[in-house]
Structure 1
Amino acid sequence: MRAFVLSALGALVVTGCGTDVDDITVGAGLGWPAAYHDGRNGGATSVTGAKRMALSWSRPSGGPIARPVTIGSEGQLFLTTRTANGCAMLSFQMPTGRKRFCSQLGPSAVFSPSVVDGVSNVYVGDDGGVNSFNNLGQPRWRTPVAGVPVSVQFTGDGNLLTVTQSGQVDVLSRQTGHREVTTVQLLGEPDFLAHPDLARPVSGQGLDDCPTGGPQCSVANISAVDADSGRFFLTLWQPGEPVAALVALRYRDGKVVQEWRANVLSGGSGTSPAVSPDGATIYVGDNSGRLIAVDAADGRTRWVRSLGFAPRGGISVSSDGLVIPAGDDGYLLALHDKGDASEIAWERKDLALRGTPVQTAGDTGYTVAAIGAGLNLITFDTQSGDTIDSDVLPEAEGTTTGTSISADGEVVLATRLGEVFTFVPEK
């Protein structure tokens, strides 16, 4: 019933202002504009990765970090956190780590990813709202929603797609925040005639279950968008259902409709779906330790690979079909997608993952692994899995939220405890 209450209260009021001329480019482009690089959650970039890296700077954020750092086309860094003074949206300058701005948002903003457009306007959710700031941190607009947007992405036509943990789906104008389509409620609409005394729960209800994709968080992960077809894919745990589902929806012709639902995610999912470069396959993990490849057209399972650990976070998928899952309880390995089966390309059981692997041009990948009592940035050959370089994250503990790469090849990492590290190509 809690979900029904949330679904009824996605307010239609928009505050703030913007222009009616949409001259802001989006693009999959330079930098790391979304949590896993692009709308398809591909975790791979056309930037040629350097073989040798060196620490440039590190600094604390002042609070925990739950989502990957995003990077604008000119190198401006953005992240969400939770601090005692309410500073939740942080931006840093790439060369020095100097703080560009700090914006106050609700405490649940730490669970929301950010996305950045071509002129470094940033979009992020918090308790009951979607927000946009320009590159100086000045507010552009705020649109109320029910819940907290745990997924924020760009659509193929340049709008903003948001999904809250309670299953509210909205498509918003990037310029004004106005709703472009009618709000969709994945858990259904409330029946106020049958339940006239429904009360609104807190916006952050169930968020603690989101990192692992538990049953109290109906939508736990960042949606993957296929810009060409208008389809987007998300994980959904319907209350009372024994397993979670991978759901395909399509945004087209001024509306959002569901195309299929595949109930395949045993124990839920802490993995954001990823779309193959050709749009034909969706990769997703579940808490039973499986990586699953699904046909994007109809939800048919193509193959299942038992990993031996629960995948978490993003899945890196290269243009030539090399698939590298993440998972803080797992190790570094890569798979070849053979259509109706998978094949292990290589595996490194000696490298315990503490972050999300990503791939670059030039057969170079990056991830964070536990080395001794600390953490290291590992540069590896994506064709063989061999370690090319290893760089210490000084005094870092725990795990990292993701791996982000700038247009100039800098690698940016953030620990969940709240420390940001930036590495530059070694000259």
Structure 2
Amino acid sequence: MTALLLAGCKTSEPDGSEQLDRAYGPGWSAVHADSRNSDYSPIQGPKKVALAWQRKFDGTINLGPTIGKDGHVYLTTNAGDCHLYALDPQTGKTIWCSEEVNQFAVASSALVDEQGRLYIADNEAMHAFDVAGNLLWETKIKGFPLSAQFTHTGRLIFITHIGIIYVLDRTNGAMMLDPHPLSAELPPDPDFDPRACMRGTADCPCANTLAVDQETGRFFFTYWAPGAAQAGLRAMVYSEKKGPSLKPLWENTSLPGGSASSPDISVDGSRIYVNDNEGGLHAIEAATGANIWTFAIGYEPGGSQSTSPEGLIMPAGGGTAPLMCIQDVGPEARMVWKNDSLNHLGLPMQTGGHLAFATVAGSPTKARKDLVVVDTRTGEVLDRVPFPGKTLFTVGTTIGAEGNVYVPGFDGTLFAFRPAN
């Protein structure tokens, strides 16, 4: 939220040695909303929704869209000639689409800066576009990143799936420092299918989006080191005080089965939340990497959780998962509510007004899916609207400044719901 409120402002650290650049655009400008990967928006969400439009794309959609300050909805797909689309939020019609990125761009959502420029990679290069879709620059990379973030100094930072960290100048794509491999034993084939990254196993060492603390320069990411018994969470810091540098801080290897989610940072920056592939939600101390608590959610989540500033955490759905809300209460977590009658099959989003939006199995037939709006404090269902037709599980939930809620299905359909009033 701090990054959103201060977007475009420049200040300095207390010792005046490092300029800060709040590069994030307003609104849902990163794959998980912000640099913290919160999947939360301070926008007051609608309590009642109605379908505004839907659009079917060729191929699949793997992630939720991002939204620029002009309201344009940015989406990636893996089929056809165009793989990056800018859509009109009112109609879903194409404003422009780009053939400059290949089908591997489907593994990322576009990152949007305060000037409306977009940054997105495929398995060959990181690309930058202006608001009209013109290519500004491209920088060759090895492997593909699963979405990028901005550092506290306004640089572009990302980690490719094989474990190489890149930091680029976002104005021209120049490397701020040499590519930084996390291991000397990189996988031999950097070009394998991104579907291998869906569970964050040893086959895809760095399978999620890093989270960046805009106040300290620390960033956090999941990584399955070559030869390790299981995945872990790592912390590093990027600094430009004495020239661009990366410094390892700590490593926590407590994610059995792989990493089921991107890490997200609590609003005060003190702890990191991350899921493993054996049904565990972990809270880890940001400064030291020490385990604070682990909460058994009872299933393997199919993506990243949503975390509110109040510490309300809603895991992603998966299988026969019930919709639930957990709260971090300091030394432990507690279940706030759980609704076993709502089979959760998507990635949730929380908004201002204590609201959450989630995809659940329809009733009476599970072939149909419904969008539900719930009160995060009580679990009360405030609205329930069906997705038209048969829909596979959904892969993200995003809200625009006008209150539209965007939900893409893995089958390539993007649904837009408007406030019903």
TM-score (norm 1): 0.89
Residue aligned with 2:198, SS? helix
Residue aligned with 2:273, SS? strand
How big is the shift at 1:312? 2.9
CA distance in 2: counterparts of 1:396 and 1:358, whole angstroms: 22
The residue aligned with 1:93 is 88
The residue aligned with 1:13 is none
| Counterpart check, 1:250 vs 2:237 | yes
Q: How does 1:326-345 map to 2 (within 5 A)?
A: 326-329=316-319, 330-345=321-336
Structure 1 residues 79 and 341, CA, compared in 2 at 3 Å: closer, same or farther?
A: same
Structure 2 residue corresponding to 1:211, chosen from 195, 198, 212: 198
| Counterpart check, 1:117 vs 2:113 | yes
Residue aligned with 2:196, SS? helix
How big is the shift at 1:80? 1.2
| Counterpart check, 1:129 vs 2:119 | no
- Does the CA contact (< 8 Å) of 2:185 and 2:226 recur in 1? no
Q: Structure 1, residues 72-120: CA drift from partner, whole Å, max 9, x if none?
A: 12210111111133x1111111011110111122221111232111232
Residue aligned with 1:240, SS? coil
- Does the CA contact (< 8 Å) of 2:31 and 2:108 recur in 1? no
CA distance in 1: counterparts of 2:61 and 2:160, whole angstroms: 19
Residue aligned with 1:208, SS? helix
Question: Moved runs in structure 1, 4+ residues, more than 6 A?
Answer: none
The residue aligned with 2:349 is 358
Aligned residues: 394
Provide the aligned C-alpha RMSD in A: 1.7
How big is the shift at 1:416? 0.7
Q: How does 1:6-405 map to 2 (within 5 A)?
A: 26-27=23-24, 30-85=26-81, 87-104=82-99, 105-188=101-184, 202-205=189-192, 207-253=194-240, 254-329=244-319, 330-371=321-362, 372=365, 373-405=367-399
The residue aligned with 2:12 is none
Identity %: 35
CA distance in 2: counterparts of 1:113 and 1:219, whole angstroms: 16
CA distance in 1: counterparts of 2:318 and 2:34, whole angstroms: 22
Amino acid corresponding to residue 327 of structure 2 in structure 1: H
How big is the shift at 1:229? 1.0
Amino acid corresponding to residue 248 of structure 2 in structure 1: Q
How big is the shift at 1:201? 5.2
How big is the shift at 1:271? 0.5
How big is the shift at 1:389? 0.4
Residue aligned with 1:150, SS? coil
- Does the CA contact (< 8 Å) of 1:396 and 1:419 recur in 2? no
Q: Which has the higher strand share?
A: 1
Residue aligned with 1:149, SS? coil
How big is the shift at 1:341? 0.6
Report the more deviating stretch, 329-338 or 260-269.
329-338
CA distance in 1: counterparts of 2:103 and 2:92, whole angstroms: 24
Residue aligned with 1:319, SS? coil
Report the more deviating stretch, 268-277 or 204-213.
204-213
Structure 2 residue corresponding to 1:410, chosen from 404, 413, 418: 404
CA distance in 2: counterparts of 1:120 and 1:212, whole angstroms: 32
Q: Structure 1, residues 372-402: CA drift from partner, whole Å, max 9, x if none?
A: 3211111110110111001111114211111
- Does the CA contact (< 8 Å) of 1:285 and 1:312 recur in 2? no
CA distance in 2: counterparts of 1:214 and 1:101, whole angstroms: 36
Amino acid corresponding to residue 106 of structure 1 in structure 2: N
- Does the CA contact (< 8 Å) of 2:218 and 2:238 recur in 1? yes
Residue aligned with 1:209, SS? helix
The residue aligned with 1:9 is none
CA distance in 2: counterparts of 1:25 and 1:233, whole angstroms: 18
How big is the shift at 1:328? 2.0
How big is the shift at 1:240? 1.7
The residue aligned with 2:14 is none
Amino acid corresponding to residue 61 of structure 2 in structure 1: I
Q: Structure 1, residues 189-231: CA drift from partner, whole Å, max 9, x if none?
A: 78xxxxxxxxx95542263321111210010011111111111
- Does the CA contact (< 8 Å) of 1:49 and 1:364 recur in 2? yes
- Does the CA contact (< 8 Å) of 1:209 and 1:215 recur in 2? no
Specify every segment of 5 or more residues in structure 1 that has no aligned partner in the other structure, as ranges: 1-21, 191-199
